[in-house]
Structure 1
Amino acid sequence: MSSQPHAASTTSSDDLFRLEPASLTPALLGESPFWHPLEQCLYYVDIPGKALFRLDNGADAPTRWALNDEPGCVVPLTDGKLLIPQRNGLWRFDPATGDYVKLLDPPYDASKRRFNDGKADAKGRLWVGTIDDARQPESALYCLRDGAFEQVQDGITVSNGLAWSPDGRTMYWADTKAHEIYRLSFDVDTGTVGEREVFASFEKRAPEQLLETYGGRPDGAAVDVEGAYWIAMMEGQQLLRLSPSGEVLTRVELPVRCATMPTFGGADMRTLFVTTAREKRSEAELAAQPWAGCVLKMRVPVAGLPVQFAHWEA
């Protein structure tokens, strides 16, 4: 286990790790991207923009749907529709018809927190965490079982970094404000998690520290077929690829300050898409980083794991 990631070189190649925008349509805070293998497109959300996007393969601009509250994430359903955990509850959306139906109320006080990062496990159970508006350690991780939200973990501030190892026996989970990524044993059949332990931790930004010297804090994540964990480092202007033991294998410098989440896609699952943010960034930073808020993409040498589809039974 590595409590403090150590230095690694950025991999360079004419074909690999060359970043470019997948679309020049910016979001305020792009999040929760996933590649839909049946539709061959990328879905993602804009949290403060209250919007869902679909970027079709080869398209210059995404399709946008307005939502009625802040979405934390978007997860594909086995019936072709989408699950969208929002501040005001769990919703089902049909991109084919625009049908938009509330399924459940939130399991928390929506005046104080909202849903954030979420994904389905290999058995189709939805896992989704929360973020506390006042940034107090009062957020939690929930699992959707039998049509209701069950609290599984608590005591954190910003739930993020959710992912599973290729064999499904390890769950990864992060608290962005704490600058920590956790590892928990996971029973695929029952959805039972073990005690969390620190998988990787990062130095917090000192009060007067320049952003240029700050490595960032862990946000969204994805896992590749070799079991390496890719993490977006918010405000650190980088992506890190960590080994299953927590060592930094690859460090990719980004052209924008705020990456939010990577995901794998494309026909061979070797295109890494990265959502980014521009909300609350300075005019000078946005002028210097015009791709802020756009979805970026690059080719990588190792394929990623496909998205898992969630099940919903009314």
Structure 2
Amino acid sequence: MPLQTLPLPPSELGESPFWHPVEKALYWCDIQGQVVHVWEPDSGRHRQWSMPSEPGCCAPIAGGGLVIGLRNGLYRLDTAKDSGGPTALTCLALLPPEQHDTAVLRLNDGRCDTAGRFWAGSVIAPRTAPNAALWCLQADASSATGYSLRHMAGDNFTANGLAFSPDNRTMYWSNTPEHRIDQFDFEVTTGAITNRRPWVQFDRKVEGQPYGGRPDGAAVDVEGNYWVAMYEGACVLQLSPAGEVLQRIAVPVQCPTMVCFGGKDLRTLFITSARAGRPAQEQQAATPAGSMFSLQAGVGGLPVNFFALVNRK
């Protein structure tokens, strides 16, 4: 089946899509639009929640609702509420201001691991120093708040591409402006990450030469291949575990932003994109920038992981 444009409003900066297997619904964030969306393909129902700041990433919570990374911290969204705002949000953890200056930093790409931890990277603007970081939130019954938040890595400008290998031994994390995807050794029992090393380095933009884009959001399939949206490259790449390009999928917008696997068999690839900052001709095209797409991937993806809330007995 060819690539399909979905009947949804364009996002200013679509990100963090995931397929909810129980609700049979697609969730995603519009970061610049400050909205979280959900769409049920079978019924066509579309809902949204307004956020008080940019929702960089989201993931489902075991028991209902979402965990969301906003500019200053991690929150729980009650999706039973009809709209966003203070009554629908509960703060789980604030980012420490001495390490996360909200004047220049906000949360960006993130997801949960199979142990129920929520990982979220940040982005710095302007890019004066590589002070973007990777944070990990997990339930902690010994903490007064019920949750602990750890700083896991740094030396980044725009954290993206967070994903885990099927065997839970490797974590991927990209630095988009540097055109690089890194790997870490991952220990799922403790959440420890070690041995950071470059995995794939893409060519930077050179005036007058073809440009393939830079690595944005990603997802991993059951065979361990890494599917990454190439921002400004008008394509999605499927990379082997060795970093080889297995497939290049063209998309009809210049800036795809992230992918996820969904549908009943997890073989549908959903692709978000961005319209913020794009030229008028892209925003007003027949397929406008910010559209969302789907296609049959030919391979199944890993299911979304749920955030584990604290269990106080």
Q: What TM-score does the superposition give when structure 2 sets the normalisation length? A: 0.91
Q: Does 1:53 align with 2:8?
A: no
Distance apart, 1:59 and its partner CA: 4.5
Q: For residue 133 of structure 1, what is the amino acid of its counterpart?
A: A
Alpha carbons of structure 1 residues 155 and 113: separation in structure 2 relative to 1, 3 Å: same
Q: For residue 288 of structure 2, what is the amino acid of its counterpart?
A: W
Query: Does 1 or 2 have the higher relative contact order (CA < 8 Å, sep 6+)?
Result: 1
- State the superposition RMSD in angstroms: 1.4
In the alignment, structure 2 segments of 5+ residues that lack a partner are 83-87, 141-146
Distance apart, 1:294 and its partner CA: 1.6
Distance apart, 1:60 and its partner CA: 4.2
Distance 1:289 1:201 in 2: 33
- Among 28, 41, 62, the alignment partner of 2:25 is 41
Partner of 1:294: 291
Alpha carbons of structure 1 residues 91 and 209: separation in structure 2 relative to 1, 3 Å: farther
Is the partner of 2:177 in helix, strand or coil? Answer: coil
Distance apart, 1:291 and its partner CA: 3.3
Partner of 1:242: 239
- Among 125, 148, 162, the alignment partner of 2:117 is 125
Q: For residue 34 of structure 1, what is the amino acid of its counterpart?
A: F
- Among 209, 214, 217, the alignment partner of 2:211 is 214
Q: For residue 220 of structure 1, what is the amino acid of its counterpart?
A: G
Partner of 1:22: 6
Distance 1:125 1:103 in 2: 13
Q: For residue 221 of structure 1, what is the amino acid of its counterpart?
A: A
1:243-296 Cα deviation digits (max 9, x unpaired): 000000000011110000000000011100001111111112233452321211
Q: For residue 227 of structure 2, what is the amino acid of its counterpart?
A: W
Is the partner of 2:120 in helix, strand or coil? Answer: strand
Matches within 5 A, 1:69-218: 69-98=53-82, 99-107=88-96, 108-135=100-127, 136-145=129-138, 146=140, 147-206=147-206, 208-209=207-208, 213-218=210-215
Question: Is contact 1:21-1:291 (8 Å) kept?
Answer: no
Is the partner of 2:182 in helix, strand or coil? Answer: strand
Distance apart, 1:23 and its partner CA: 2.4
Distance 2:43 2:201 in 1: 38
Distance apart, 1:179 and its partner CA: 0.4
Question: Is contact 2:166-2:222 (8 Å) kept?
Answer: yes
1:186-239 Cα deviation digits (max 9, x unpaired): 111111111111111101112x346xx210000000000110000000000000
- Among 252, 256, 270, the alignment partner of 2:253 is 256
Question: Is contact 1:132-1:157 (8 Å) kept?
Answer: yes
Aligned residues: 295
Is the partner of 2:278 in helix, strand or coil? Answer: coil
Q: What TM-score does the superposition give when structure 1 sets the normalisation length? A: 0.91
- Among 252, 260, 265, the alignment partner of 1:268 is 265
Is the partner of 1:285 in helix, strand or coil? Answer: helix
Question: Is contact 1:270-1:303 (8 Å) kept?
Answer: yes
Q: Following superposition, which runs of at least 4 residues in structure 1 exceed 4 angstroms of deviation?
A: none
Distance 1:209 1:60 in 2: 43
Partner of 2:277: 280
Q: For residue 118 of structure 2, what is the amino acid of its counterpart?
A: L
Question: Percent identity among equivalent residues?
Answer: 44
Distance 1:114 1:261 in 2: 18
Alpha carbons of structure 1 residues 26 and 168: separation in structure 2 relative to 1, 3 Å: same
Q: For residue 295 of structure 2, what is the amino acid of its counterpart?
A: M
Distance 2:168 2:241 in 1: 13
Q: For residue 113 of structure 1, what is the amino acid of its counterpart?
A: L
Partner of 1:8: none
1:59-106 Cα deviation digits (max 9, x unpaired): 446211111111110111111110011003211111113522222222
Distance 1:194 1:103 in 2: 26
Q: For residue 222 of structure 2, what is the amino acid of its counterpart?
A: V
Q: For residue 21 of structure 1, what is the amino acid of its counterpart?
A: T
Distance 1:224 1:48 in 2: 28
